[in-house]
Amino acid sequence: MDVLSGHLSESVGHWATLVLVCITGLYLFQTFCSWYRLRHFKGPLIATLSRIWLVRAVSGGTLHLDFHAVNQKYGSLARIGPNDLITSDPAVMRRMLGVRSPYRRSEWYTGMRFDPVRDNIVSVRDEDKHNALRAKMAAGYSGKENENLEETIDRNIQALVDLIRNKYLSTDSENKPMDFGRKAEYFTLDTISDVAYRERFGYIATDSDLYGYISNVESVFVAALMVTIFPSINWLLGLRILKAALPSDKDPLGIGKITGITKKVVAQRFGPNKKVERDMLGSFIAHGLTQEEAESEIVIQITAGSDTTATAIRTILLHLITHPRVTSKLRTEFTSNPISSPIKDSEARDLPYLQAIIKEGLRILPPIVGLMSKEVPPGGDVIHDKFVPGGTKIGFGALGIFRDQDAWGQDADQFRPERWIEASPEKLKEMDYTLELVFGWGRYQCLGKNLAMIELNKIFVELLRHFDFNIVNPLNPVRSVCHGIFFQSEMWITAFEREQS
């Protein structure tokens, strides 16, 4: 019996070893095939063999710098994964984003779903569905059907000004530092909710991270981004047992709480006693969005729109504070021109130095630097004289595009608004054309661009009309972490009253 048992154990051992060898061999064969199909593109060695490099880059907090370093070292079309390339060539980006381009959104976008089984305007990959959604939402985002859009933004800027004056105004005898990193997001969250459905969340009024939403987003964002690297995770999240662990509109805090508030507001716009408003949500519904679609789109608008616009505001204000020469020239421009109080968007667009500052701020640190990969069409493509097989994903090397010295000059790493003033008409046209990629391009251009630009056109003039700002710690002015979007806090500044011009 012992002999029989020994033979059986030996046989099982042999089979287990054989299975292990077969699995290992299959893995090595697949790895080799994956490496071989893109062997003519250079990149970090580990990135050519596995997705470990991407995981490390996404979770490390310096995503924009990591991507930029790859393009600097390996060229404008470099390899960052077994099936992933990244480009810092604006022409390649436009080639992929053009209206008639055969490129399509890759599986990366699956990770942009807030509900594992429901798409939104950012996550949807089906072109027909994407175009249909954009058609229904375009008027709401443009402001054409959003009553008193400018006035809505103005009152939220005034609320920020009042908060600074009433709670954080410093004097020669007393400093009252504030974390403008947080205040900027309080402003954008209140503004986007006010624009969307005429109900401000109340972040500025309470001067707090209501419902712990901001801290919640920051704590779960990296884990959520793993779906962009391993799309199959989304299928698992759709299972009932795992879906129960995701944010719910019944949650008292965090993303779930904001979702719950949004669903309640949207529900009021449907049914027999529906509320009708001429705001963004009202426009969406008037153009045919269903209740479920409206819920998804408002939530994605709040989460995506608030972070990115806040990043642009922080970045530009920080550069204004640390470049007093630029601030002085800007003040001279808006005090020597007949502008309203608050400034109108149309007036701001006619101030060339203000526009140069905004453009330079968006260039020096693009608010969105995630991969946003597009998929090469089935027949493949030839880029830079190299064949790119069909199904390959090509991502957005944002910092490489906007810090390229050939395009922007030897001082491309420096904040210098004058480059937009000094450029020849031909060069300026080229620069503007490239800068458009900050907001996407072609059929994938960000619908929220108009709203963001109105906010940027107004807020710096109004803040600098009322206050002089100083950085509390010049050696460490802001805590900035990047996982595709930027989480910025501890931007401690002081504000001093100045005579209004």
Show binding-site residues: 446
Query: CB atoms < 10 A from the CB of 306, how many?
Result: 25
Q: Are 153 and 479 a contacting pair, CB within 8 Å?
A: no
- Here the tokens at position 83 are 């099936």
Beta bridge partner(s), residue 97: none
Residues of the binding site for heme: 446
What are the E-state strand segments in 286-376?
374-375
For helices 324-335 and 291-322, what crossing angle results, to 10°? 110
Please report the sign of the dihedral spanned by the C-alpha atoms of residue 281, residue 130, residue 124, residue 485.
negative
What are the E-state strand segments in 155-199?
169-170, 178-179
Q: Are 86 and 54 a contacting pair, CB within 8 Å?
A: no
- Here the tokens at position 357 are 């500052």
Distance, CA of 197 to CA of 192 (rounded, Å): 9
Distance, CA of 71 to CA of 400 (rounded, Å): 7
E strand or H helix that includes residue 85: strand 84-87
SS3 assignment, position 170 = strand
SS3 assignment, position 93 = helix
CA 197 to chain centre: 22
- Here the tokens at position 119 are 């798409």
Query: CB atoms < 10 A from the CB of 453, how many?
Result: 19
Distance, CA of 229 to CA of 417 (rounded, Å): 37
- Here the tokens at position 377 are 């069409």
Q: Are 88 and 71 a contacting pair, CB within 8 Å?
A: yes
Distance, CA of 383 to CA of 374 (rounded, Å): 14
- Here the tokens at position 256 are 């779930």
- Here the tokens at position 203 are 């972040």
In b/e form, how buried is each residue of 275-284, taking b as 16+ CB within 10 angstroms? eebebbbbbb
Nearest to 107 by CA among 93, 99, 119: 119
Question: Before 377, cis peptide (omega within 30)?
Answer: no
Q: Are 470 and 169 a contacting pair, CB within 8 Å?
A: no
